[in-house]
Chains A and B, each alone.
Chain A
């Protein structure tokens, strides 16, 4: 659909947006104190942003404003759109747009809608998306929601708009997990992709690393040091029920879900050395996957479940290898430089995100798996823990700015950049969750 709209070349500009506040209505829903909120600032945008207008929705003004604020924030933050001033007149899904007026405002697309009571305290949000140049409707949708879930409805609408205008699925309704380090305190948080609605899934005095979402988005696997050594847990987010699935003698770490959600690849040292094993999600059926005399760690399944990519020093330096998920011989994947770690395959299986050391700096890189061409996406010093958005458009990493741990989302072409941080806090170990089922 992107191709049906004229692309307008815009210079990449440094933009700063503080998107914490979306109305008192929303703030009241937050479970955590204000200091725990992630704020997002855009530090780079796409070159060809689609000019889109999101009209004020019809319906009760306060609710409609809260909804349109979410939609506009999502689209703006994605770096794929330029928001066109819609004026102040509310426009519902059934209104006929004044085509020439919107064209003169510079909009290629217009979303209009309304929110109304649907009985039982529920709300119904409806909207329609218009192609201004073709003077035709591109689609629309209706979502039944409730006041506490108003933001979720906004994210769903933004997802539809994103998909209609770019041709790929939106990720505004997804969630992210990350670890916040306080003084002597570690919290594993789960938040909406825009950083809102942050909730602590686990609070501990000891470090928490390597969170990994189950493919259905209901559980997190992670490594906790609460027993004075690394132990792998699987944690159901809704119930808070957690199970130590790997607590063998030695260290237990680096959990990676298989795409079927039933098994995980893990790193155990029970037989000496850090070695790859597979284990069922309930902790049963542990099996050795590979053998080396050195370090094998950081396993990651390809989305089709066929391969496991991992880091190994078997060749003398830390490099990325891959092995058939059923075992067998490993093939080396990375060759440039002496330190390439933390491989993560893109959702389409075509590229590999990883961290590479160049001149002493640790930077995010992406390799095209077919051509083996590698592109550096950042110029930072301490990138780590890359995690793809489920649509493959952005990669979330942990990095450092001014000595503080922050998260950064970088588009796969390196142009679009967002920074997610907590004021005066240290954020690390991000993991982008799957699409909402």
Chain B
């Protein structure tokens, strides 16, 4: 007798494990499997699949503590520039050191641009920023396979405004650690 037959004939004997499996299998369906008309015997057990990180971020405190430089994740760029400015060198070096000391960690760098110009061209500009940051991290000790650089172009502005202040805020590359993306 499989689990689902147990459920349909002896609901009071449900174990917590079976219940969890059933919830995982039909949580989006307001009418349970019993109402669907399909033969109960044909159903097999349900193996819950967890997509992505549902546990929340369990990052070490040094990555999230506002007093730690590693909690700073954004590098800002000048207009039409991909150069990591001197003021961000300490921040980049700190992340490189962390990645070098913690090889199990991976990061995603998302490059961003302001809204002016072609969306696809801006996607490529954001990529250039992400790759400039990646290059520096790798030079300073991060391993190539710990860092993926991608671009969001102008699609996800941090500041939705349409002036110089907003644009400066959006010319940016962000560092996200595993579990944050």
**Chain A: residues with CB nearer than 8 A to chain B?**
207, 209-210, 223, 225, 228-230, 249-251, 253-254, 267, 269, 272-274, 295, 297-298, 311, 318, 339, 341-342, 355, 357, 362, 384-385, 403, 429
**Are B150 and A384 in contact, CB atoms less than 8 angstroms apart?**
no
- Assembled-state Cα–Cα distance A225/B126 (Å): 14
CB nearest neighbor in B for A310:
B120
Report which residue of B117, B120, B128, B149 has the largest number of chain A beta carbons within 10 angstroms of its beta carbon. B120
A-B contact pairs, 18 of them (CB 8 A): A209-B119, A209-B123, A209-B153, A228-B150, A229-B151, A250-B148, A251-B123, A251-B151, A253-B120, A253-B124, A254-B123, A267-B123, A295-B124, A295-B128, A311-B121, A341-B118, A342-B121, A403-B162
A249: chain B residues at CB < 8 Å are 148
A341: chain B residues at CB < 8 Å are 117-118, 120-121
**Are A273 and B131 in contact, CB atoms less than 8 angstroms apart?**
yes
Q: Cβ of B107 < 8 Å from any Cβ of A?
A: no
**Are A269 and B120 in contact, CB atoms less than 8 angstroms apart?**
no
A254 CB to nearest chain B CB (Å): 5
* Total B residues in contact with A, Cβ cutoff 8 Å: 24
Judged by DSSP, the binding face of A is strand
**Are B152 and A225 in contact, CB atoms less than 8 angstroms apart?**
yes
**Are A339 and B117 in contact, CB atoms less than 8 angstroms apart?**
yes
CB nearest neighbor in B for A403:
B162
**Chain B: residues with CB nearer than 8 A to chain A?**
108, 110, 116-121, 123-125, 127-128, 131, 148-153, 155-156, 162, 181
Given contacts A249-B148, A251-B123, A297-B123, contact A357 B131 (CB under 8 A): no
B59 CB to nearest chain A CB (Å): 17
B127: chain A residues at CB < 8 Å are 250-251, 269, 273-274, 295
**Are A207 and B120 in contact, CB atoms less than 8 angstroms apart?**
no
A228 CB to nearest chain B CB (Å): 5
Task: Name the contact of B151 in the complex, choosing from A230, A339, A342, A385 (C-beta under 8 A).
Answer: A230
**Are A362 and B117 in contact, CB atoms less than 8 angstroms apart?**
yes
Task: Name the contact of A251 in the complex, choosing from B116, B118, B150, B181 (C-beta under 8 A).
Answer: B150
A298: chain B residues at CB < 8 Å are 118, 120-121
B161 CB to nearest chain A CB (Å): 11
**Are A253 and B108 in contact, CB atoms less than 8 angstroms apart?**
no
Task: Name the contact of A357 in the complex, choosing from B117, B128, B150 (C-beta under 8 A).
Answer: B117
- Assembled-state Cα–Cα distance A253/B118 (Å): 13
- Assembled-state Cα–Cα distance A135/B124 (Å): 60
- Assembled-state Cα–Cα distance A313/B127 (Å): 14
B149: chain A residues at CB < 8 Å are 250, 269
CB nearest neighbor in B for A209:
B119
B131: chain A residues at CB < 8 Å are 269, 272-273
- Assembled-state Cα–Cα distance A267/B149 (Å): 15
- Assembled-state Cα–Cα distance A130/B13 (Å): 81
Not counting A297-B124, A342-B120, A385-B119, a sample of 19 additional A-B residue pairs whose C-beta atoms are within 8 angstroms of each other reads A228-B108, A228-B110, A230-B151, A249-B148, A250-B149, A251-B123, A253-B120, A267-B123, A267-B124, A273-B131, A295-B124, A297-B120, A341-B117, A341-B120, A341-B121, A357-B117, A362-B116, A384-B118, A385-B118
